[in-house]
Structure 1
Amino acid sequence: MDDAIPQHLVSQIIEGRCVAFVGAGFAAPAVPAWKMLLRGLGQRAQLDDATAAWLTSLVDNGGSRDLEAAAQILHTAMGDGFDPALAEVLAEDGHPEAIAERRQLLAGIPFDAIMTTNFDPFLVGDVPGPDAYQRILRDPPHRWWEPRYWSDDAPGAPVVKLHGEVGPVGDSVVFTQRDYRERLYSSPAYMTFLRSLFATNTILFLGVSFTDAYLNELRSEVLAMIDQRDEDPPVAYAVLPDVAEHQARYLHSHEGLGAISFDTAGGTDWGGFDRVLRAIHDATNPRAQIGAALDGRTVLWVDSSPEDTAYGRRVLADAAADSGGRSRMVQVGSATEAAAWLRDHDADLVIADWAVGCDGLPVAETLLRTMRAADARAIVVVLAQEPVTPEDRHRALALGATEVAHGWGELFRELARVYAPL
């Protein structure tokens, strides 16, 4: 049985205080295994017989130190040709379709940022440097209701590829122990950046095995700095396989780490990782939240131009369908038609335009006044194509609207507030 998603983690994500740290396990179904990757590189390297035999013996032996040594031999022998060759192996032997759903779920979770040590091209992002650091640390935080998390081609949170990326992206891939040392100790800004993130955000580790010494040391620094105690909420969470209750208790008490465990049935079933990722997505993604909230509800759209609301109607209907339910979308062109429809039907939600109607008043204002006179009851959200003045907003709220939303993002934020308080 997969563990429930902690409410504290959900809250931290929605509040824009959570950063995802994505490791090799996330991309494991798509990336060639370590030995296969090294053999593919060896086939592209021009090695003398002695070096080729040395490489083969290291890879066949398969110990972690042997594989690290094989990586260093290849990196040294291939020089500038190493990164292009690595990109070729990933392109030929990789299977990005195997993690297509994972990538989509990751993009739909409103993290403030995503860090990854993976250098494959399956997550699009920036490499370490001043531009990336400024974007993550200094730009305004991303609000969870923004379209970047729920549109059809949602890019999700900004990604920093801590160990570089194969291909012409202006950064060398961190592949060997020497690369690790250079990244850690030749670039002080790199560790300062990570310390800042770890100290000021809740971290969610996805596909991370915690074998990197510098990562564990960094976590220890943060725990000591804030004096983490047993009763404090975790400073980080991790999706991990087969964590027993006593192990989870230790991780919380002494490592400040909340374990979200999934059962692998003795190492034979890793689908639990995807189920946990889906659960986190569904608990935080605005589209999923609104879709569940609108299941079985009728929404009345009041706008003289059906084309202006077509996108919103489709998003809300699709959101309900994606959540396993259905909603009814009704479109009318004026306040008069809306009032007549409401006399004979019930609406769970009315979304009314603020554009001026034929009577010289905003359509939503006329409708709200008519509904008040007729004692018609429904939740009304005003949708304005342009920003409204504070006076107009106050007038709409005084007449009974729950909010005046400018643009789709604010509309969906208000619907989530009304129907699915988070």
Structure 2
Amino acid sequence: MDKSVMTKSFSERAKDRLYEAWDAWKPGYADWVAWSNELYHPDAEMIAMSGDAPEVFSAYQSKMKGFRDAYDMEMGVIERCIVADGVTAHTYRMSMTPKGAGPEATVVIPVTEFNHFADAPRVRQADGRQAGTGDRGVSVMRIIDSQLHLGPGQIDTTLASMDALGIDSVLVDEFWARHPYGHPDFFEPGRRLPGGAWRSAFPTAETAALLHEDRFATVVRVDPDDDGLSWLVPALAAEPHVKALRVLPTWSEGAARAFAEGSCDRLFGLAADVGLPVFVYTPGRTALLRGYLRRFPALTVVIDHCGMPQPGLPVPSPSAEPGDGRTHPFDAVLSLAEHGNVALKWSHEQVVFGSEQYPFLGTRPHLRRALDAFGAERIMWAGDHTALPGLRWSEVLHAVRDNPELGAAERHAVLGGTAERILRWTPGAGAADGVDPA
């Protein structure tokens, strides 16, 4: 056996086994029986077709023959998992469609299983140690929403929504109102400095992170014209809840020209020095990032909102990479993947790719192209539902979580693993050493 497996705790090995098995699930009855015999103990208990009463797996397996003859069945991803006292408890959803019927006839059934394992190599030499689960349990897949706008009075309701959806953590970009003083680059809360720059404030995000350090963290908007950058950036990096900086350098034509000429060099250099990644929103103008990626190879840059042009912005539609009928504007974004210090935030995809009806099927080919270019380890999901009127948080999450075209490893990386690594955000660990996305 692999020594690295032997050093894992029972809870880690059990979750690994579930995770791997779920990726290899078989829909046909005979294949499913062989698959399930490798995973489940005959005496495992589950609550599924029996309503609220548990039944042993051997009885459930026999009963499933009739169901599988009558229905096409698809098993959803594991949503929650707890390991305690040598037993795993996990939940998922099963979709059932009568044979020959259309998708409108599909019903979705929640399933809860309480399981101990058959003699599988990954877990048979359990060492009896168990991971602490806390009040909320341990998620097989840590889900991090890497952009959420938050304001006063919204912490408790946001937490309740997160718990309901199975979202473990969110990165808060505090946002109250737009354009104080009529300036397109200024977003409240914050204040205008004597030199004319804007310095953001983030009282709600900071409060949320102090009260719930594993659930909330902060990305701080920084004005590259702030005269205090030399002390501000290190001071922000010293705050455990500040995980990244954010800049919107092409929000006006003048700002875009300045960005092309290096207006963010000082900010990017300071961020690289302290190990803070920088989220950069340059809709339709990602080509302007290339020089920065070359000049600051130690800096992790995250391209916001797929890097694509968006309707309704105060800056005219893109001039840097408009597409010509033969190439797609997304091609320019994907071409930046050759730089190992850049990652992509998969967000606003419904708007920028023109697919705004759940489950946003038109976005899937673009996500696959992004995965092929960047790799899942350099793509992080953001719902940003607070900036997308008409779209529900649950919809933007499930569109990725339940995307059947994603492998399990890809899903884990996009929905949380990439953000966890780039933001150096491990639950209960406080500040950690930075890791770039290369």
Structure ID, larger Rg: 1
Structure 1 or 2: larger strand share? 2
- Relative contact order higher in (CA < 8 Å, ≥ 6 apart): 1
Structure 1 or 2: larger helix share? 1
Normalization by structure 2: what TM-score? 0.28
Normalization by structure 1: what TM-score? 0.29
